[in-house]
Amino acid sequence: MKTDVYYYTTTDGKSPFVKFLNSLQKPAAAKVIRLIAQINQYGMLSILPHTKKLTGTPLWEIRILGKDNIRVLYVTRQEHAIIVLHGFVKKTQETPSNELNIAMKRLQEVQKIVV
């Protein structure tokens, strides 16, 4: 089942996630783009081994392993829609709190607009 994928954008229309993608090397960016395209076309179940709920938050993460451990933080807003809030290269075992804080701040901004 198709899932709509939306990207967080700032009030001036810029997408920090797209900026993050552009900062990645081509093979890593291609992995991220491929998984997001797969979500869009076939739904979240199609990438199940790559997703994980972040305990104690409304956030989920897409885990992309390889030379770089990339994380994409998102929330679900409807049954078949997600909002991509933040992306980063994970360098430690735990998800850094500053990365979670960025995603949570963006989620709060999105909720003000949606509600």
What residues does each domain of the chain span? Answer: 4-114
**Residues 92-102: what's their mean pLDDT?**
92
Tokens (6 digits) for 73: 């933080």
Q: Residues 6 or more apart from 113 whose CB is under 8 A from it? A: none
pLDDT bucket at 114, cuts 50 / 70 / 90: low
Using DSSP, state whether 103 is helix, strand or coil. helix
Average pLDDT of the chain? 91
The answer to whether the predicted template modeling score (pTM) of the entire model surpasses 0.85 is yes
For residue range 13-41, list pLDDT tens digits in order.
999 999 999 999 999 999 999 999 999 99
81 — alpha (psi -120 to 50), left (phi > 0) or beta? beta
* CATH architecture label of 4-114: 2-Layer Sandwich (3.30)
Task: Quote the pLDDT of residue 66.
Answer: 81
Of all helices (H) and strands (E), which one includes residue 39?
helix 26-42
Q: Which residue has the higher pLDDT, 66 or 56?
A: 56
Q: Looking at the predicted structure, is the pLDDT value of residue 115 above 60?
A: no
Judged by average pLDDT, the poorest of 38-42, 74-78, 104-108 is 74-78
**Residues 80-95: what's their mean pLDDT?**
92
Identify any residues that bridge with 88 across adjacent strands, giving them in sequence order.
Answer: 71
DSSP annotation of 92:
S
